[in-house]
């Protein structure tokens, strides 16, 4: 009777450990999917911004073409694609789009265009949603990392092949200190 009770407690403990790991892994996948949804919104918005901007910025054509190329590359990636590759492409798009937004400020006609203003406002909202989705993902990745590294769940994770998820970190360009004098010229 005692052995049966011990076996039952052990089974319940192992099942809870197993289900906890599965839930944490699924939370990371859900969070990653949330990022994908927000990135899709960004990718859908980019052609509208580029179309409006291209009417005013003939000599910025290279930048517009680079963004279009990166967007095409990003859309080819499936939601199950290598997260590090997806993050790299996303960082490139974000940097190029920032260049576009800064360049827009040099074109008074474009700045006053209502469609462009609305597109820029929508783009900024999407960027905020992407940031929130990234924070949610990193939180889920942290929970999974802890479960994969801390005993006894680490043993189970090893048997089940559950690995840590990479964190999404700020792009190198976001880490640089801002020099305000560059903007006051």
pLDDT tens, residue by residue, 69-81:
898 888 888 666 6
What is the pLDDT, as a whole number, of residue 59?
64
**pLDDT for the residue 172:** 55
User: What integer best gives the mean pLDDT of the chain?
Assistant: 84
pLDDT of residue 61: 77
User: What is d(CA 100, CA 50) in angstroms, rounded to the nearest whole number?
Assistant: 9
Mean pLDDT, residues 149-159 taken together? 90
Residue 75 to residue 174: CA distance in whole angstroms:
24
pLDDT tens-digit readout, 18-33: 999 999 999 999 999 8
Q: Are 124 and 158 in contact (CB under 8 A)?
A: no
Identify the helix (H) or strand (E) that includes residue 185: none
């Amino acid at each position: 009777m005692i052995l049966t009770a011990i076996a039952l407690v052990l089974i319940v403990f192992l099942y809870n450990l197993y289900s906890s790991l599965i839930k944490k892994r699924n939370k990371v996948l859900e969070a990653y999917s949330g990022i994908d949804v927000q990135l899709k919104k960004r990718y859908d918005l980019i052609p509208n911004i580029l179309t409006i901007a291209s009417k005013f910025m003939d000599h910025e054509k290279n930048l517009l073409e680079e963004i279009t190329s990166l967007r095409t590359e990003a859309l080819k990636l499936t939601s199950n694609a290598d997260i590090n590759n997806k993050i790299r492409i996303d960082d490139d798009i974000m940097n190029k789009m920032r260049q576009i937004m800064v360049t827009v400020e040099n074109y008074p006609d474009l700045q006053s265009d209502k469609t462009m203003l609305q597109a820029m406002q929508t783009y900024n909202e999407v960027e905020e949603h992407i940031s929130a989705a990234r924070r949610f993902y990193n939180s889920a990745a942290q929970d999974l990392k802890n479960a994969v590294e801390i005993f006894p769940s680490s043993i189970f994770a090893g048997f089940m092949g559950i690995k840590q998820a990479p964190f999404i970190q700020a792009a190198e360009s976001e880490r640089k200190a801002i020099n305000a004098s560059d903007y006051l010229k």
